[in-house]
Each structure stands twice: as C-alpha cells, then as structure tokens.
Amino acid sequence: MFTLTSNGYKYFTLNLLEHLKKVGVPWKLCIVCADKAAYQFFRGQTIPAIQAVTLLPDTGPNISLFGTTNFQRLNRLKLDLLATFTSYPEIQHGIYMDGDIAVYKDFVPDIIERLGAGGSIYLQCDEGTREPCCGPPCTNACTGFIAWSHGVSPSLFQVNTHLALWREKPEDQVFVNARMRDEGLAFQTLPRDLYPNGAFARLYSPDSPLKSVAKILHYNYIVGMDKQRRMKVNGDWLSQLF
C-alpha cells in the first residue's frame, strides 16, 4: 500500500491517514515523499515516511494544479514508483492510492478477493456518468487508485522506454490507458457504487445513504482548494492541522 505526496499535498495525505485511523485498518500505508519539505513535515509529525530516490524541487505549500509542469513531474514520479513496485517479485499484491481519497471501509479484503478471482490489475472507472455494475466496459481507467497482482508488466508504467507517448500528453492517466491498449491488457475497473470518483462527490453529503455502500470516495475532478472545501462539506475532512 503506498501513496505519493509533496509539500503542496501533505495535508491531503495527512487527511487520508486520519481516515485510515478512523476505519481502523490493520495495514500500514507507505508514504513516499516527492520533495524534502514533505519528508521533513511527516518526520516532524512522527509519521513514518520515505523519500523518493530522486527528489523533485519544492514548489511551495500550494497544490500543483492540473497541467502545470510540477503536476507533470509528480505524475511521472508516480509512474516511476509503479514501475519499481510492480517489478518486485516479493510483492504479491500492491495498491497505489492518491492522497485525495476518503476511506469509509477497509477495502483491501475486497481488492484481494477480486484479484484472486481473476484479472491482474484493477483501477477505478473515471467516466463522468454513473453506470450499473454490469453495464458497458469502462473506457477511461483512473490512475488515482490502482491494484495489481504480481505479473503485471512494469513496462505499463515505464516512461523512459515510451518517451514519445509521454511527450504527446504528459499525464499519467493518459499514458497508462494508452499503454494498456497497446499491450492488449484486459484491465478490470471497480464497481462505481463501491469506488466512486470525484464526478459524483456532490452526492456524498454527510447523511447520504451512498456513504454506507461506498468503500472509498476519490475527490479527483475537483481543482485546487475546492477539493478541500468539498471534502469539508461532505464531512470527509478529518485533519485538524489545516
């Protein structure tokens, strides 16, 4: 279980940790820090974290907005980490999750069961329409939540060997979806009611019955600090530091 964080994203990662604590998961999340400031922050909070081998420049305490140069650097570092972790034979199952996720239940048993039933990689569906569980296959998989079994090729995430593809549009989600198509990989997407994406965040008010069904809610789609505001409205901002 790992996540990637930065100085601008540290409070979202801290909020994610508060969710895991509240749910009482029996596993630990590995926090990989993209810059030195994030690493120093978590050390100051006595929260275990590791530094990326190659640290990115610290761009300050604000979120790196979608499409900016630093956002692209973080995307590429995420892919490098996925390529590394999928190459380790001792990791039978792995899960990557973004920091802007609210966790309502321990999802790991469900993920392990799905991986054991077939399919080497599962991702969220990132389409903007709600589909039934057995509807048409999802055409846009989300790289904010990825679960895999050992045997998934690290080449799905290796930018250095597919630089032309990366340079066309340097976004991790675009890259991974293209690589899965190129490899002919029959990826699986998770049920939308259990693993909703941010297109439906407004539906998850504190008293929404949808919360009793969902295991997580990924707050993608929402830009900048509007992400935090929506989490607060939904009762999903648990961090007391910011």
Tokens read off for 23: 């749910």
Q: Within 13 Å of residue 171, how many CA atoms lie on the same side as its CB? A: 13
Average pLDDT over residues 53-64: 83
Q: Are 196 and 214 in contact (CB under 8 A)?
A: yes
Q: Which of 69, 189, 200, 78 is nearest to 134 (CA)?
A: 189
Query: How much is the pLDDT for 226?
Result: 92
Report which of 210, 207, 237, 231 is spatially closest to residue 219, judged by C-alpha positions: 231
Q: Which pTM value belongs to this model?
A: 0.94
Q: What percent of the chain has pLDDT over 90?
A: 79
- Return the beta strands (E) in 93-186 as ranges: 93-97, 101-103, 121-125, 141-149
Are residues 64 and 55 in contact, defined by beta-carbon separation less than 8 angstroms?
A: no
Fold for 2-233, please state it.
Spore Coat Polysaccharide Biosynthesis Protein SpsA; Chain A (3.90.550)
pLDDT digits (tens, 9 = 90+) for 158-190: 999 999 999 999 999 999 999 999 999 888 999
**pLDDT (tens digit, 9 = 90+) per residue, 83-123?**
999 999 999 999 999 999 999 999 999 999 999 887 799 99
Average pLDDT over residues 236-241: 90
